[in-house]
Amino acid sequence: MSAPAEHPGSMPGTDAPAAVLAAPVLAAAGLVKVYPPASRAGQPSIALAGVSLDLAEGACLGVVGESGCGKSTLARLLVGLERPTAGTVLLQGQPVTNFRRPELARRLQLVSQDPFSSLNPRLTVESALTEVLLVHRRVPGRKEADQRVAELLDMVSLGPQFASRLPHEMSGGQAQRVAIARALAAEPQILILDEPTSALDVSVRAGIVNLLTRLRSELALSYLFISHDMAVIRQLSDQIGVMYAGRFVERGPWQSVMSAPLHPYTRALLTAVPEPHPDGSLLGSADDLAHDAPDTGGVQVAASARTGCPYFPRCPIRIDRCLTDDPPLEVVAGAHDAACYRAGVAVESGGGVPAESGGSPGERV
Amino acid sequence: MDSTLMTDRNVRSASPVLAIRDLSVGLKTRTGVTELVRNVSLDIRPGERVGLVGESGSGKSLTMLAVMGLLASPVTVTGGSVTLGETELVGAPDRKLRALRGSEIAMVYQDPMTSLDPLQRIGEQIAEGLRAHGTSRSEAGERTLAALAEVQLPDPHRLARAYPHELSGGMRQRVMIAAALAGNPRLLLADEPTTALDVTIQRQILSLVARIQRARNLAVLWVTHDLGVAAQFVQRLAVMYAGRIVEVGPTAAVFSAPQHPYTAALLAAVPSTTGERSALGQIPGSPPEPGSFPAGCSFASRCRQARPGCTQAEPALEEREGGVAAACFVPPAEWRP
């Protein structure tokens, strides 16, 4: 884990906190992705509304958010599966569009949620790994490839007997290990991990999280780790970015974001996590739902017509200004940024502003 | 509606709404029976929220389906009984079970879209369920609106005329709960109903169900793989492994001092949003496949606490202190760190 003091020359005023500076291996600036309307009467949907980030060498940036917040779109833009509507992705300082596909794949690999959809069902583990090794010329020939396959399996804690397995002969956790081994075969510097543990059982998930933690330090990898799960994000990340409606609403060192969240959405997320110890924190106040944000149908990505803060309809600490102005992501404390005019303001206990105004996004109270 | 809050002691002493006794479920093939669920016993009393927790393949969902009488051949109940009040459900004729479902027993599933008819308005679907149990058209209409209001959906009149696709996932799950509870059942069976939802929405649904459950003194059986949900939502929980209940007891007791090594290992594998950040606990190996359950304790080969005797005989589920029962030969006091 890289210490925050690693780059003492960090410049104040930039978005990037100290650890994520000097030479980011991966950077994005002002990423916007707009999808055309699904029907003629429909509105275009804004999946990303301006996302900038820096990923330092050897660091892990955790990106957390709920469904529809744009986190997977971000992953697809970063690995070049889709092109942004606006903004740039820089890989080692160069626009990602300057790289040809294989060059890109030797630097950047994606691990997604479902290993079975990313593995060819007819290829044995050995063939799948060998293919990558040969395509990217990571080994001189077939003989060395066998040796390397064994090393890769060992790296992800799978025995050599897995070499001859087909995807359907493995459990979800084993297949995810193979998917990780396959990504590592290309010897990338960066892994984009898009919900790699979300489909797994509790005990299997723990194994993958531990494996990813170990691999990062052993291979000096940089991670962009995407998840909806605050606890998993916390386990792996140096920096945490919280996404809402296609943008970061909060970003900072993991300790600060988890223990002193600034944005009301981050706080709502953290409060909602059912903690695995029965202290009654979730249902202690079950009788008054006043603290709960109204169900506005999950994260509704801001329609182009809307002004003001996208979190306004659900926000318990909103003020009039939030309806008209859209708060930018700004440094609030140290390297800890938030996009909120009321960053850090506590919710008044008992004063449930939004509960009664349920389900009317953008409507003034 | 009975809105009295029962104390824990009252809950204990009341006779169970649902009593599961030695329930076994198997897959019948030409060569024999493959055991999937083995000797599950569990009581759910009025006003009690009970959790059934386990990983994939542990048998928790099959247990639930068996209780509802929804197993499909060749998977069948191979032994034991399930009684709802005085009524035996195992082997009861379909017609009787159908009459009970929707009136006495209500069910909620993970994916509301598979239970809701996409071509029928929300209100009609709820009313149809009520009408099937003999409610008049006008009364069904009124009760539908009341049910939608009870789950705190805004503007029930407008919503009753909406189609499922017009609603968000959270709203659809509210509709499912409204439909399930409209018939005023005694027992709610829920199979991972919040698993597909975002955490903020999950929280709302759990709070909502807890509130209605208390107001109606409902008995609830909640199947989940999420130990966090179990910790926050149920008063008592049963942990399943390889088709058996390996530990059962009051939620607080089980979480604070697990008596079965599998429960302890599972808890150690769950990341938290607070506390020290250290490596998560791992369980070596994988659960045994149904049909090849090993001799002795099914968890022995993966268990840090296993002793030679553990592979000889299968430990019975036995009472320990604090109302907890566990199926393990090795008491926690003798556990290796």
pLDDT digits (tens, 9 = 90+) for A26-68: 999 999 999 998 888 788 889 999 999 999 999 999 999 998 8
Give residues 12 to 51 of B whose Cβ lies within 8 Å of A: none
Nearest residue in A to B55, CA atom? A201
pLDDT of A291 > 60? The answer is: no
Do strands B75-84 and A190-194 pair parallel, antiparallel, or not at all (unpaired)? unpaired
Neighbours of A297 (CB within 10 A): 16
Neighbours of A282 (CB within 10 A): 23
What share of chain A in percent tops pLDDT 70? Answer: 81
Highest-scoring range by mean pLDDT, A104-118, A265-279, B8-22: A104-118
Q: CB contact, 8 Å: B4 with chain A?
A: no
What share of chain B in percent tops pLDDT 70? Answer: 96
Average pLDDT over residues A246-275: 95
- State chain A's mean pLDDT as an integer: 84
Instruction: Please tell me the predicted confidence (pLDDT) of residue B12.
Output: 54
Task: Name the region of B91 (left: φ>0; alpha: ψ -120 to 50; beta: rest).
Answer: left
What's the ipTM? Answer: 0.88
Instruction: Please tell me the predicted confidence (pLDDT) of residue A283.
Output: 59
Residues with Cβ within 8 Å of residue A15, at least 6 apart in sequence: A52, A53, A54, A251, A329, A331, A337
pLDDT band with cut points at 50, 70 and 90 for residue A10: very low
pLDDT of A284 > 60? The answer is: no
Choose from A1, A170, A177, A203 for mutation: most chain B CBs within 10 A.
A203
pLDDT digits (tens, 9 = 90+) for A195-210: 999 889 999 999 999 9
pLDDT < 70 stretches in chain B: 1-13
Of A151, A156, A147, A209, nearest to A179 by C-alpha is A156
Inter-helix orientation angle B199-216/A264-272, to 10°: 50
pLDDT of A334 > 70? The answer is: yes
Distance from C-alpha of B9 to C-alpha of B244, rounded to nearest angstrom: 27
pLDDT of A304 > 60? The answer is: no
Instruction: Please tell me the predicted confidence (pLDDT) of residue A22.
Output: 60
Nearest residue in A to B252, CA atom? A278
Q: CB contact, 8 Å: B207 with chain A?
A: yes
pLDDT band with cut points at 50, 70 and 90 for residue A277: confident
Instruction: Please tell me the predicted confidence (pLDDT) of residue A365.
Output: 25
Give residues 280 to 299 of B whose Cβ lies within 8 Å of A: 280-283, 286
Distance from C-alpha of B58 to C-alpha of B263, rounded to nearest angstrom: 13
pLDDT of A314 > 90? The answer is: no
More confident: A311 or A7 = A311
Distance from C-alpha of A72 to C-alpha of A218, rounded to nearest angstrom: 27
Q: What residues of chain A lie within 8 A of the CB of B322, using their CB?
A: none
Distance from C-alpha of A239 to C-alpha of A64, rounded to nearest angstrom: 11
Q: CB contact, 8 Å: A356 with chain B?
A: no
CA angle B301, B26, B328 (to 5 degrees): 35
Instruction: Please tell me the predicted confidence (pLDDT) of residue B13.
Output: 62
Inter-helix orientation angle B169-182/B122-132, to 10°: 20
Distance from C-alpha of B95 to C-alpha of B89, rounded to nearest angstrom: 11
Distance from C-alpha of B326 to C-alpha of A145, rounded to nearest angstrom: 49
Whether the bond into B74 is cis, omega within 30 of 0: yes
Instruction: Please tell me the predicted confidence (pLDDT) of residue A279.
Output: 72
Q: CB contact, 8 Å: A215 with chain B?
A: no
Whether pTM > 0.90 for this model: the answer is no
Of A71, A55, A73, nearest to A63 by C-alpha is A71
pLDDT of A219 > 80? The answer is: yes
Instruction: Please tell me the predicted confidence (pLDDT) of residue A43.
Output: 83
Output phi, psi for A56, to 5 deg: -80, 155
Q: Are B4 and B68 in contact (CB under 8 A)?
A: no
Q: What residues of chain A lie within 8 A of the CB of B232, using their CB?
A: 274-275, 278, 280-283
Average pLDDT over residues A311-324: 91
Do strands A24-35 and A86-91 pair parallel, antiparallel, or not at all (unpaired)? antiparallel
pLDDT of A298 > 80? The answer is: no
- State chain B's mean pLDDT as an integer: 91
Can you say whether the dihedral through the CA atoms of B59, B60, B61, B63 is positive or negative? positive
pLDDT of A286 > 80? The answer is: no
Instruction: Please tell me the predicted confidence (pLDDT) of residue B180.
Output: 92
Average pLDDT over residues A269-298: 60
Distance from C-alpha of A293 to C-alpha of B299, rounded to nearest angstrom: 42
pLDDT of A17 > 70? The answer is: no
